[in-house]
Amino acid sequence: MVSLLEELERRESAIGERVGELRVQVAELSEQLEAFEEMLAQVEVARAVVREVLDDVAAEEPVPRPAAGPQRAGGESPIGVVTVPEREAGMDASLLPSGYRDIMEVLIAAGRPMRSKAVSVAIGRGEGPSKVESVRVKLKRLARRGWLSEDSPGLFALLEHAEDSGPLGQGSGG
């Protein structure tokens, strides 16, 4: 028969070996976690830099003046032309592409500042992160071009233009 002390020593040794194996696994997993966290941080930085560059490029693009002639069907502009012009006296939202007009209509109907997610839901895009982000980009663009204000971060409101008859214009049907 095996003595009690020998059995305890055998168990201690087996448990010690398992603890050593688990420590090696933890160290390997920690290294993997650190590597993936680093990659994630790099991707987040890259995305932020790309977004900033694209926003700067969009802000610097020449904005076409509205022509006195007939508009294209649907009010959409051709590829390569800025679709959201700088807001000037007398301009109304009928000059904007339909997605931007939808945003303007929601803000007019709400009569108060709104956040990107609420606007996204109101125009039927939903609450998904990519949908909300695309609406946020449009709201930011409208704010940069003088159609909206962003008085506090993420809160967008219509600008009041005393010289205009309203953001959508009288009789614009929109």
Per-residue pLDDT of the chain (174 residues; tens, 9 = 90+): 679 999 999 999 999 999 999 999 999 999 999 999 989 888 888 887 787 777 766 656 555 555 544 444 444 444 555 578 888 888 888 888 888 999 999 999 998 999 999 999 999 988 988 888 888 988 998 998 899 998 888 899 988 754 444 445 444 444
Task: Give the residue among 41, 76, 83, 40 at the shortest CA–CA distance from 62.
Answer: 83
Question: Which of 169, 51, 48, 150 has the alpha carbon at shortest distance from 108?
Answer: 169
Return the domain boundaries, the chain: 1-60, 91-174
The answer to whether 138 and 100 are in contact (CB under 8 A) is: yes
**Residue 156 near residue 148 (C-beta atoms within 8 A):** yes
- What pTM does this model have? 0.50
Say which CATH topology domain 91-174 has: Arc Repressor Mutant, subunit A (1.10.10)
Q: Tell me the torsion sign for CA atoms 55, 61, 67, 73.
A: negative
